Amino acid sequence: MEDTKRLMVIAGAGGNGSVSFLREKFRPNGGPDGGDGGDGGPIILRGRQNLRSLNHLEGVNKIIGEDGLPGKSKQRTGRKGKPSFLDVPLGTVVWSIDLNEEKQRLTEVLEDGEKILIAYGGQGGIGNTHFASSVNQEPLIAIGGEPGEERDIYLEIKLLADVGLVGLPNAGKSSLLNVVTRANSKIGDYPFTTLEPILGVVKVSTGSLVMLDIPGLIENAHLGKGLGLEFLRHCERSAILLQLIDGLSDDFVLDYKTINQELILHNAGLIEKPRFVIVTKADIPEVKERFEAQRELLRAEIGAEPFLLSSATGEGLDDLYHLLDNYTDTSVGEIQPHGLKYIKPLPPVSQRPRVTKDESGFIVTCPPADRILATINLNNWRARLQFHNHLKKMGVMEALIRAKIEEGDTVFLGGYEFTWE
Residue 411 confidence (pLDDT) = 93
Distance CA 148, CA 355 (A): 24
Binned at pLDDT 50, 70 and 90, residue 219 comes out as: low
Binned at pLDDT 50, 70 and 90, residue 24 comes out as: confident
The predicted-structure confidence for 320-376, as pLDDT tens digits, reads as follows 999 888 887 654 433 344 567 778 788 877 788 999 999 999 999 999 999 999 889
User: For the chain, what percent of residues have pLDDT higher than 70?
Assistant: 89
Distance CA 135, CA 203 (A): 77
Residue 221 confidence (pLDDT) = 45
Nearest to 315 by CA among 340, 343, 284: 284
Q: Which domains, ranges and CATH numbers included, belong to the chain?
A: 4-157 (2.70.210.12), 163-330 (3.40.50.300), 354-419 (3.30.300.350)
Residue 230 confidence (pLDDT) = 58
What is the DSSP code (8-state) at residue 59? T
Q: What is the mean pLDDT of residues 242-247?
A: 93
Distance CA 345, CA 327 (A): 39
What is the DSSP code (8-state) at residue 56? G
Residue 292 confidence (pLDDT) = 93
Residue 49 confidence (pLDDT) = 85
Nearest to 18 by CA among 82, 68, 66: 68
Least confident of 145-149, 152-156, 215-219: 215-219
Nearest to 85 by CA among 283, 334, 330, 340: 340
Residue 337 confidence (pLDDT) = 44
Distance CA 89, CA 78 (A): 34
Encoded amino acid at 3, one letter: D
Q: 173-200 as b/e, with b when 16 or more CB fall inside 10 Å? A: bbbbbbbbbebebeeeeeeebbebbbbb
Q: What are phi and psi of 152, to 5 degrees?
A: -95, 110
Binned at pLDDT 50, 70 and 90, residue 192 comes out as: very low
Least confident of 228-237, 328-337, 376-385: 328-337
Q: What is the mean pLDDT of residues 164-192?
A: 71
The predicted-structure confidence for 31-72, as pLDDT tens digits, reads as follows 899 999 999 999 999 999 888 788 899 899 999 999 999 999
Contact 267, 232 (CB under 8 A): yes
Computed over every residue of the chain, the mean pLDDT equals: 85
Q: Which residue has the higher pLDDT, 234 or 40?
A: 40
The predicted-structure confidence for 78-108, as pLDDT tens digits, reads as follows 999 999 999 998 889 999 998 889 999 999 8
Binned at pLDDT 50, 70 and 90, residue 188 comes out as: very low
The predicted-structure confidence for 247-288, as pLDDT tens digits, reads as follows 999 999 999 998 888 888 888 888 888 899 999 999 999 999
Residue 342 confidence (pLDDT) = 77
